[in-house]
Amino acid sequence: MSDTLQILDPSGKKVGAAPRLKADTLLRMFRAMVRTRAFDERCMKLQRTGRIGFSIPNRGIEAVSVGSAAALDIAQDWVAPHYRDFGIMLYHGVEAEAMMDNMYGNAADGSVGRQMPVHFSFREPLRYLSISSPLGTQIPQAVGVGMAMKGRGEDGVCLTTFGDGSTNTLGFHSGMNFAGVFGAPVIFLCQNNGWAISCPVEKQTASEGFAVKGEAYGIPGVKVDGNDVLAVYRAVSEAVKRARAGEGPTLIEAVTFRMGGHSTSDDPSKYVEASEFKEWEQRCPLKRFRTWLIHEGKLSEEQAMAMEAEADAEMLAASRVAAAKPKPALETIFNDVFETMPKHLRTQADWCIGHYSSRGEGVDEKGEFPL
Amino acid sequence: MSELTMVQAVNDGLKSIMREDDTVLLMGEDVGPKGGVFLATEGLTAEFGEERCFDTPLSEDGIVGVGIGLALNGMKPVCEIQFQDFIFPAFDQIVSEAAKMRYRSGGQYTVPMVVRTPYGGGIRGGLYHSQSGEAYFAHTPGLKVVIPSTPYDAKGLLISSILDPDPVLFMEPKALYRAFREEVPEGVYTVDLSTVREVVPGDAAVIYCWGAMVPVATEAARRIKETRQQDVRVVDLRTLMPLDEDAVLQAARECGRVVVLQEAPRFCGYASEISALLAEHAVESLEAPVRRVTGFDTPFPNTLENYYLPDARRVMDAVEQVLDF
């Protein structure tokens, strides 16, 4: 990976110039990575025990999410995300409970239980655009979000994240092309985690990786070690700086590895060699950053262990609180289709509530599910 | 007031609202200095600059996807898809994204966007410059579908669509772009969405129609009046989603005999939905089975397009059948 930006090597040794970050920021980044892993592990347990229906493993990719998140100024910037990026939300102060609300699809969920788990949507504390299952659709949207800010003379940028598989979608190519033509302040962050469900990178593209794909659109491409949070931070920070200065978009390929299945419905042992997981375990983004922080004297072993225990407890507690919240009322099936509910939906909503409340199945006459 | 064609009324509508609301942007292929292939945006780059009326790459998915992003972040984009036949690369962005954004984000994110697109036959455009795909879109929860049939409505409905908080597919019957002129008021005015327009009064039967079929229905009603001295009502639906169902049911109850006219293929067309609505809710008022007059279930032909498109004679036959049932 000679053309790949790396600051910490897999053993945690500094091999490049570290970005100047305050100790609190470094610890906040580490803590977000630890919490990302804890959230992921809790969700896996909840899914395996039948408490939630689905999750998207985030193990192994934590540095890509957190390194990019730390480069943003959420007072003005937007994120148009894909589904494998828990760390961006956790770094920026989205409460674990709010994320668990989505995992459970309860009444407090940002999408009011309408979407599958992991399809988050937040407006506060950061503009984290509603996640879609069709891939790559967020990419041209990010360009529009960026063009709006540029048109108004604002300094904000939009970070859009996607996997290696999504570089084959219409959205990637149209989004990159528009961004190049209009000089939009957008950072395209490709999380190259090696797999598009079961299809390896070589079945996705014949090109030498993904960073080179910027060239045809007049967009600089940068390749970075995606398991090195400092390198991801540096690459994204530089791209943000360029975008704010009116120098246009950047494509960043963060090379990492998905240390699990595509989703909880997928069994990676059918197509990933066990040796490959073992090899990538050696490059664990958490271990690497932890080792360096301890070596630098910014973190102690005890502090790290306490942080991990605290994160596990936080996620367990958040899941319990979310689990106890009621289901959304039946009316929510019909709200938010349009700003104002048209008459045909009012008719359907009234019928639906009447039908189910008359059958003694736990639905009251308001269409709610009293506990 | 001046006498405008429909395409001039579209242009005037865009210009009028852009003068009042600087968040309105126009984007699409050739909509800039050239003014669009039908000249719907002629002169608008000159007046409002490239920032507000701009050419995009040839990329329908990009036009709508980027438009959604602009709408998410405070702008009111009006995206032009040059021909409705070319909209399908953007189908995902329209159907999966624009139409579902409010719903899937619990109202946190909304897409106040208009996609304008010329549609329909009558210009010798063959398979790919003639289609009427309204049914694909009217089937999509979260998307409004609006189709004008006169210059006055084109301007008023377009302005209402731009001011609407939800995404609107605004389908312009290109066969009517320059078919006739009518008085169109200056400046901003609106025609409410989800209202129908009674084009011809009558109570012997009713023809429901929209877009370029409205003049065809009107001609059929005129000839029925001439030959049989019976008054056939013509109702222009003009917003297909959300439809003013009450108005449709009321006209059917008052007339008792119904023809539904569309130029799109028959199977699963919008006319089928109207027929089903009447069968479910107005059957006690119907004196005859509902007749549909439609295009055929084939791709759209070029040389023989006049035999594909419903004409007044075909409509008259159907009206006579329901009158004589």
CATH code at A36?
3.40.50.970
B65 and A137: CB-CB below 8 Å? yes
A133 located within any domain: yes
Are residues A45 and A101 located together in one domain of the fold? yes
A1 located within any domain: no
- Structural domain count of chain A: 2
Are residues A186 and A228 located together in one domain of the fold? yes
Are residues A273 and A232 located together in one domain of the fold? yes
Are residues A242 and A358 located together in one domain of the fold? no
Looking at A284, A300, A323, the residue that finishes a domain is A323
**Least CB-CB distance to B103: which of A78, A177, A337?**
A337
CB crowding B123-161: b at 16 or more within 10 Å, else e? eebeeebbbbbbbbbbebebbbbbbbbbbbbbbbbbbbb
Tell me which of B103, B168, B241 to substitute to probe the interface with A (most A C-beta atoms closer than 10 Å). Answer: B103
Phi, psi (rounded to 5 degrees) for B227: -85, -30
Looking at A323, A341, A360, the residue that finishes a domain is A323
Report how far residue B121's alpha carbon sits from residue B131's, in angstroms, rounded to the nearest whole number.
Answer: 6
Q: pLDDT tens per residue, chain A (371 residues)?
A: 458 999 999 999 999 999 999 999 999 999 999 999 999 999 999 999 999 999 999 999 999 999 999 999 999 999 999 999 999 999 999 999 999 999 999 999 999 999 999 999 999 999 999 999 999 999 999 999 999 999 999 999 999 999 999 999 999 999 999 999 999 999 999 999 999 999 999 999 999 999 999 999 999 999 999 999 999 999 999 999 999 999 999 999 999 999 999 999 999 999 999 999 999 999 999 999 999 999 999 999 999 999 999 999 999 999 999 999 999 999 999 999 999 999 999 999 999 999 999 987 789 989 998 76
Contact B152, B3 (CB under 8 A): no
A188 located within any domain: yes
A291 located within any domain: yes
B71 and A151: CB-CB below 8 Å? no
Cβ-Cβ contacts under 8 Å for B322 (sequence gap 6 or more): B205, B257, B258, B259, B287, B288, B289, B290, B291
3 state SS of A260: coil
Tell me which of B56, B73, B111, B196 to substitute to probe the interface with A (most A C-beta atoms closer than 10 Å). Answer: B73
Q: Which residues of A are catalytic?
A: 258, 262, 271
Q: Which residues of B touch A147 (CB under 8 A)?
A: 66, 69-70
**Least CB-CB distance to A344: which of B70, B92, B245?**
B245
**Least CB-CB distance to B66: which of A78, A147, A335?**
A147
Report how far residue B94's alpha carbon sits from residue B105's, in angstroms, rounded to the nearest whole number.
Answer: 16
**Least CB-CB distance to B70: which of A111, A147, A174?**
A147
* pLDDT at residue number A1: 43
Chain A nearest-CA distance from B251, in A, is 18
Q: Which residues of B touch A78 (CB under 8 A)?
A: 73
Does B101 lie at the interface with A, CB-CB under 8 angstroms?
Answer: yes
**Least CB-CB distance to A130: which of B56, B104, B243?**
B104
> Residue B102's closest chain A neighbor by CA?
A336
Report how far residue A168's alpha carbon sits from residue A196's, in angstroms, rounded to the nearest whole number.
Answer: 11
Are residues A237 and A367 located together in one domain of the fold? no
Are residues A148 and A231 located together in one domain of the fold? yes
Are residues A356 and A286 located together in one domain of the fold? no
Ranges of residues in chain B whose predicted pLDDT is under 70: none
A13 located within any domain: no
* pLDDT at residue number A2: 54
Are residues A240 and A346 located together in one domain of the fold? no
Are residues A183 and A227 located together in one domain of the fold? yes
**Least CB-CB distance to B74: which of A109, A148, A178?**
A148
- Residue B199 DSSP symbol: E
Does B108 lie at the interface with A, CB-CB under 8 angstroms?
Answer: yes
Are residues A227 and A343 located together in one domain of the fold? no
A9 located within any domain: no
Ranges of H-type helices in chain A: 23-48, 62-69, 86-91, 96-104, 138-151, 170-182, 201-204, 229-244, 274-281, 285-295, 301-323, 343-357
Burial classification of residue B208, based on how many CB atoms lie within 10 Å of its CB (0-12 exposed, 13-18 middle, 19 or more buried): buried
> Residue B144's closest chain A neighbor by CA?
A338
Are residues A354 and A238 located together in one domain of the fold? no
The ipTM estimated for the assembled molecules is: 0.97
Report how far residue B295's alpha carbon sits from residue B279's, in angstroms, rounded to the nearest whole number.
Answer: 22
CA atoms within 13 A on the CB side of B202: 26
Q: Which residues of B touch A170 (CB under 8 A)?
A: 61, 89, 92
Chain A nearest-CA distance from B228, in A, is 37
A3 located within any domain: no
Q: Which domain holds residue A50?
A: 23-323
Chain B nearest-CA distance from A277, in A, is 35
B103 and A174: CB-CB below 8 Å? no
Does B78 lie at the interface with A, CB-CB under 8 angstroms?
Answer: no
Report how far residue B96's alpha carbon sits from residue B91's, in angstroms, rounded to the nearest whole number.
Answer: 8
Strand order in the sheet with B205-209: B197-200, B232-236, B205-209, B258-261, B291-293
Tell me which of A137, A338, A344 to substitute to probe the interface with B (most B C-beta atoms closer than 10 Å). Answer: A338
Tell me if residue B129 is catalytic: yes
A123 and B61: CB-CB below 8 Å? no
Are residues A307 and A345 located together in one domain of the fold? no
Does B267 lie at the interface with A, CB-CB under 8 angstroms?
Answer: no
Q: Which of B15, B102, B129, B144 is catalytic?
A: B129
* Per-window interface: B 20-49 vs A, CB < 8 A: 25
A11 located within any domain: no
Q: Which residues of B touch A141 (CB under 8 A)?
A: 65-66, 68-69, 72, 97
Going from the N-terminus, what domains does chain B have, and what CATH number goes with each? Answer: 2-184 (3.40.50.970), 197-323 (3.40.50.920)
